[in-house]
Chains A and B, each alone.
Chain A
């Protein structure tokens, strides 16, 4: 009993750390990589922690147009993402809950966050935020099938309907005929990852022109603690969706804590890759974004087709 207790405790600690403390580091890392690529020194890696601490002290300003729905956006998004993070395995460590069909719950929890964010943007009655909301729902209608085709392919390859066996399928790389589909799935999900986290080339969080934004323009009017929740939620989403990309790539290591470390390393690597992608590509014109997302749908659909053969 005591032998089993320690790994479980360690696992819980790792999970609490990854979900609650680690996320703001990832955007900091990405920014740092981008700064280095551009030859600048850039803001400190911990900048988002400072921002969050500052925002938690700040007074929130509410427009007289808004209702309680305005608050439901940030609160609901973070709550939904935290529940989703219970379901996802971090590397080859066990998640808190794994059951048949948790993939669907996971995807719909992300949908819940999106729904509430969109409504809280519309609550301001601002044309800019309505525009962002319209773009968000349009593009996610294409991202959703890409995500589900990927799940379907993994379910078929692993014969399981739960996230944990699906993602901890390291054996797929060693079985030669499965590595092709897995690469396609990861390519499709990579596109979903970039789109859902509003990264270049789909969206640019740092642009100065609101007309060209998607996610950032939806949260223009939030301030103080609600804004802190939004920023933390965005970084948590990077980790939660990042786990989808990182988990299948990790090797199985002998010790539990090594697996945890490997996951952290994988996340760091993902941040570096995103930083490099953002530095070397330009943002697409808005009407090219659907084509990019359709490419994601096709990649995961092809992965499924390959598994049929």
Chain B
């Protein structure tokens, strides 16, 4: 416990020396964060390797529950991405967020505070502590989204985030209060059998799903996610997308550990929400032009995949199939870690692009692979992993979920899981399309604007964290056996007597095939290069392009045109806004074409509804006369009304 507490303290204080130091404040705080990460990772690895579970308890039965902090296997599993991304983000921020951007000292201070809140949250075993850490996390993230407060976009994003996170917290207050009524203690722990099926259990479950779902960004509740991720500094986006939204998943995982007998419809609800978030998340990502908004929609997609895994596990738990349970939960938890790694990586690499060119608009980028080879490689590794392509880590976790879905379906036990299969296949194919679009338009081809042409490689302090994350992606992808025992310990609490996931999936064969693939690729590359070396170096030539040599950069396929086919094909769900040119006459005027895909919930439903509501509230002006006696009359009338209501 000492390691963990020290790590917590260091993370919380990491930004403080930087407030007073005139120089090197950023390096000092990043160094403190690294030490904190190393200590915390030590504690987490100790628990996941089978060591004793450290806990912090109050001596007496104060505050309704003795235990405050318990670093069990689930907590340790979630602690790893928190600390890894925080340390990577801190080093990245040293050069990424310098004086020129404004408030760097405060960003570091709040970044440390947010990390500490996350570290506290994963291990919180007391309801009050959990809610305290939850709120600290929400406020920290709100302040960080607001970093560039001179931009209206950032203020709006932070406002939307604050409203939605507090809506979620309100639901959590209700749910925890209901739970405490059942358990009779503020301790977070196992609930009695039969509770889940009761009416109270249903209410609690739904409240939890709204509260945690708002944080995780499950599809109809995702409204805060794209604007906040786009507006925050990139290392903050990386932490938010990689870890903060996973705290919603942590809550759901905790809920599953407390319930011994979930009804089948819980699992079905998880699967339904997961399918909707997954498919719509990637579909809306396809329609985006803003690099960071695109990545944010992909976070929604990956939350969908995690929910599919949790849903399969829940179905297994309800129907008594331990193998399905193990595969579903293992896939979900591994995907939590994997998504933190590759999405953190993608946000850092995307941030390097923004840093180098000053724009997030895909249509104004292009050809950056030449100027930024390392960033380009990092983004490619992240794209490769997020599409679930072997041999990187995204494949392994999706593979677990696929195996679970196949198992559930094959033996006439639960044929509906074929929907999971189809959803995963569609998500995979669409994600591939979307990342081919993102990587292709940003890094390949020729620069579309002067800003893109003048891009420079990111400084080493920014490249190193990307390298660490990319390495972790490769390591888990090629050697999944290395994490399998820890994964099994993490899921052990989610069900009873779960079989080892490594025995259900043939992980060593993945290693063999990944190495074969790498060897073959190496051999073929050598063969191609051998052919090149024997001849004189050919002159530098432009792209042949069927004889349209030296075509203008503007003639390249843009991100929008690349996705046009799919966006048009899915217009019955995406509703893209297209302002097409009206070409008339033999000599038409110059014209503009614009297309863009607004968010379905925020832009199409909530904003109009709130605007209408605000207009309706104007009617209340009638009652606001501004005269004190009238207000006193209102008080009297209300009191009278309440009196009559209580008596009758």
Interface residues of A (CB under 8 A from B): 56, 59-67, 69, 71, 74-76, 78-80, 82-83, 86, 97, 99-101, 103-105, 107-109, 111-112, 114-115, 118-119, 122-131, 133-135, 137-138, 140-145, 147-149, 151-152, 155-156, 159-161, 210, 220-221, 224-226, 229, 290, 301, 304, 308
Contact = CB atoms under 8 A, between A and B. Distances in A.
A301 B421 CA distance: 12
A156 B557 CA distance: 42
Contacts of A133: 436, 440, 557, 562
B432 interface: yes
Given A152-B418, A159-B411, 19 more contacts: A61-B544, A62-B541, A78-B520, A79-B521, A105-B390, A108-B388, A115-B432, A119-B444, A125-B556, A127-B548, A130-B556, A134-B565, A140-B429, A145-B425, A155-B410, A156-B409, A161-B403, A221-B545, A229-B524
Contacts of B504: 100
B415 interface: yes
B543 A99 contact: no
B538 A56 contact: no
Report the contact-size class of chain B (Cβ under 8 Å from the partner).
35 or more
B223 interface: no
B123 to A, nearest CB: 34
Interface in B19-76: none
Nearest to A304: B418
B444 A156 contact: no
Contacts of B418: 149, 152, 156, 304
Interface string B554-574: 011100011111100100000
B540 interface: yes
Interface stretch (B146-154, B207-215, B505-513): B505-513
Contact of B557 (A66, A67, A131, A221): A131
B436 A71 contact: no
Contacts, number: 247
Nearest to A104: B402
B406 A83 contact: no
B439 interface: yes
Nearest to A57: B531
B138 interface: no
B395 interface: yes
Interface in B509-537: 509-510, 512-513, 516-517, 520-521, 524-525, 527-528, 531-532, 535
Given A60-B528, A134-B564, A152-B409, A122 B545 contact: no
B428 interface: yes
Contacts of A224: 531-532
B528 A127 contact: no
Given A134-B564, A137-B436, A65 B446 contact: yes
Contacts of A135: 565
A220 to B, nearest CB: 6
B421 A75 contact: no
B615 to A, nearest CB: 42
B591 to A, nearest CB: 20
B387 interface: yes
Contacts of A111: 387, 389, 428-429, 432
B367 interface: yes
A164 to B, nearest CB: 13
Contacts of A115: 384, 387, 389, 432, 435-436
B446 A125 contact: yes
The 4 closest A-B CB pairs, nearest first, are: A130-B557, A125-B445, A122-B440, A137-B433
